[in-house]
Amino acid sequence: MITKVIALIVVLIIIPYCIGLLPASFIDGDRRVISVIYILGFVISLAIFELISVPVIILKSDGFPLIVAMYMGTECALAMAGIILYNFRVRKRTESADADDTRLKDRRRLTGEETVLWLVAAAAVLFQVIMYICMEAFDGDDAYYVVQSLLTNETDTLYRIKPYTGLSTSMDLRHALAAVPVWIAFLARVSGIHSTIIAHSVIGILLIPVLYVIYYNCGVLLFNGDSKKNAAFMIFVNIMYIFGNVSIYTDATFLLTRSWQGKSMLANLVIGSAIWLLISIFKSDEGEEDRQTLGYWITLFALNITAAMCSTASVFLMALLIGIYGITMSICKRDVQIALKLMITCVPLVVYGAVYLLM
Amino acid sequence: MTQIVEIFKAYNGTGYYCLLFIAALMYLWFAEENKSLKLLLVTVPTVIQVLFFIPYFHMAYNMLDEGTYYRILWLLPMTLVIAYSAVKVIGNHLGLGVALVCLLLSLCGSYAYMGVVFDKAENAYHLPDEVIELCDMVRPQEKGKRIWVAFPPELVHFVRQYTTDIMLPFGRDSMVDSWKRADNELFDIYMGRDIYADRLVSLATGYQCDYVIIGQDDNVIGDVTDYGLREIGRTQNYIVYSNLDNAVWYDVGLDKYKSMLYREAEE
C-alpha cells in the first residue's frame, strides 16, 4: 500500500513540481512559489501526456505499454531539466543577492483573524475531499470513461473495445483524442491500483485541492498578496462550490460528482487555469511594466494541449475564451501583438480540430 | 432563441447565482480600477453572454458538438467574479462580512451533497457491493479469459467498471432512449413486465452467455432450470444461474468470443 501511495506522490506531485521549475525559471521571482510552480508543472505534465498518447492511440492499437514507457521517460527527463535549469538560472542569481534573507524578513506571522479564516477555507476543501472519498455519485457516463480506463490497463488496447459490452470495434476517434481515461489507466498501471478506484476514490484527492490552489493563485494576484482578503475569497469560492449544485450542468456539479472525467477537468481546472494565466500575464500594476511572463505563455500554450486532452468541446471553448480576450485586449491597448501572441497559444487547438476533421 | 433561453434557464436553476453574477459584473464595472482585470472579469464574460444568446452562434456550436451548448456558460467565471466582488464589497469588515456573505451564498445555492445523485459509498470502487458480489461469483479464475453474462439492465452500468473479464450481451448503449441503439431481444425480454423462462434461456444461449442473472422479484413465467440453467448462488436481490451445461455449447465450433464477433460483423 505504501509503495502505491509513494508511486502516486512521485508521479502526481514531485515530477510535475520539478517540471514546473522549467517555466518558473521564466517568471518573476516574487511569483516563484510552490503553488505557482506546481500548477505550471501539472498543466505541462498533462499536455505531455496528450502529446505522447494521441499518436500512439491512433497508430498502435495495443500501444498502452509504449505510452507508459515514453511518458515516464519524458517526464523524468523534463523533471531533471527543470531542476538543472532552475538551479542555473534562478538559484545561482538569488544566492548572491541575499534574496532569501529579504524574503524571510518580508514573511510575517498570520494574525488571529487571518488564521481562523484560512482554517475555515482549508476545512471546506478538506470537507469536499472527504465527501469525494466517502460518497458515491452515480453517473451513467462512467460506463464509458471508467471502463475505458480499466480496459486500457487490463488489455493494453486503446479504444478498440466497446466499453459497454466488450466487443471489438474500430477506433472511436472522437473519444480517443481526449486521453483522460488513458491517463487514469496510466496512474493505475504505475500505482498498481484498480482503475475504478483511481477514478472514484483517488484522483479527486488531488484534483479538488488543485482547483483551489488555482483559485488561491488567482486570489494572490487579485488582492495583491493581501492574505486576509485572499482567505475570505477562498471561503466564498468553497461555499459556491459546495452550494453550486443549482443544476446538473454547472462546473461545481461536475467537479463534485465526476471530478475524474475530462469534462469536469475542462470546466474547472483548465478554464480556471486559463483565467489565472491570463491574469498572471496581463495584470500589471504601476511600475511593473518589465515583468517576466514567458513562463506563463509557455504554460498557456501547454494548457491548450491539456484542454484537448479533456474534451473535444475544448477546441471551441478555449479558442473562444482566449480569442475574445485577445481581441478586446488588443482593441483597448491598441496593440495587435497581444491578439497575435494569444493566437499562437491556440495553435494546438487548431491542430487538434484539424486532426479530428480530417480523420 | 427559445431553445437557447431554455438552456440558459436549465443551467442556472433557481437563477440566484446568475443574478448575483450580474450584480457582481455591474459592481466591478464601476469599482475595478485595473484595466486588464476589468477586461477579463467584466468585458469578456459580458461578450460571452451576448454571444451565447445569438442563434447563429448556437448553430455553429451544434455543428461541432450537439447537445452540449450549456458548456459555453462554463467560460463565465461566475465563482471568481462573485467571490472577488464580495471581498471588495465587505472591505475590511471581514469578520461579520464573511459570515453574512457565506449565509447569502448558501441560501442562494443548492447543497451539492443533498441531491439524489449521492449515496454513501459502499466500497473504494464506489460500486454497489451486490454487483461486486455477483461479478466475483461468475468471473473466470484464469487470467485473460473472458465470459459472457446476462445481467439485469439496472446493473449493466456497473459490471464492467469492476471487471472487463465479463462481457455483456447489452450495455448502457441499450439503456439510453435518445441513442440509436441496436435491437437487442435479450434486453427487451429483461425490460418486459413478465420474463418468459424459455425465451430468456433461448436468447441468453443465443448470445452465448455462460451465466444468466435474474432479479429475485422479477416475474418469471416458467422455471429456467427446466431449460438448462442451473442455480449456482444468490445475493440479496438476485439469483445467478450457470448456462455452461447447456447443450448448445457443444455445437459451437469456434471460440465463443470470436463467433460472437463474426455474428456482429455479419449483422
- Write down the domain spans for chain B: 2-114, 129-266
Statement: residue A256 has pLDDT above 70: yes
Q: Provide the residue type at B169 as one letter.
A: P
Mean pLDDT of B145-149: 90
Judged by a CB distance cut-off of 8 A, whether residue A142 touches chain B is yes
In-domain check, residue A132: yes
Neighbours of B220 (CB within 10 A): 16
Return the closest-CA partner of residue A161 out of A173, A174, A148, A145: A148
In total, the C-beta contacts within 8 angstroms joining chain A to chain B are 253
In-domain check, residue A180: yes
Statement: residue A289 has pLDDT above 80: no
Return the closest-CA partner of residue A141 out of A169, A173, A180, A177: A180
Distance CA B160, CA A272 (A): 33
Look at B67 and A96; give whichever has higher pLDDT. Answer: B67
DSSP string of A26-84, one letter each residue:
TS-GGG--HHHHHHHHHHHHHHHHHHHHHHHHHH-TT-HHHHHHHHHHHHHHHHHHHHH
Q: Where on the phi/psi map is residue A222: left (φ > 0), alpha (ψ -120 to 50), or beta?
A: alpha
Rg (C-alpha) for chain A, rounded Å, is 21
In-domain check, residue A67: yes
Distance (Å) of CA A83 to CA A89, A251, B51? 10, 35, 44
Residue A84 confidence (pLDDT): 93
In-domain check, residue A143: yes
**DSSP reduced 3-state for B124:** coil
| Per-residue pLDDT tens over the stretch A84-108 | 999 888 766 666 555 554 444 455 6
Neighbours of A1 (CB within 10 A): 7
Distance CA A290, CA B74 (A): 33
In-domain check, residue A163: yes
Mean pLDDT of A21-33: 89
Return the closest-CA partner of residue A187 out of A206, A171, A168, A173: A206
Full residue range of the structural domain in which residue A188 is found: 2-94+111-283+291-358
Distance CA B52, CA B4 (A): 8
**DSSP reduced 3-state for B133:** helix
Which of A308-317, A326-335, B19-28, B66-75 has the highest average model confidence (pLDDT)? B19-28
Report the predicted TM-score, pTM, of the whole model to 2 decimal places: 0.91
In-domain check, residue A329: yes
Judged by a CB distance cut-off of 8 A, whether residue B121 touches chain A is yes
Contact residues on chain B for A237, CB-CB shorter than 8 A = 79-80, 83
Q: Which residues 281-340 of chain A have a CB within 8 Å of chain B?
A: 282-285, 312-313, 315-317, 320-321, 324-325, 328-329, 332
DSSP string of A149-174, one letter each residue:
HHHHHHH---S-B-TTT--B----HH
What is the pLDDT confidence band of residue A154, given thresholds at 50, 70 and 90?
very high
Look at A305 and B191; give whichever has higher pLDDT. Answer: A305
**Which grid cell sits at B154?**
439496472
In-domain check, residue A101: no
| Per-residue pLDDT tens over the stretch B81-105 | 999 999 999 988 888 899 999 999 9
Number of domains present in the structure of chain A: 1
**pLDDT exceeding 90 applies to what percent of chain A?**
70
Contact residues on chain B for A266, CB-CB shorter than 8 A = 74
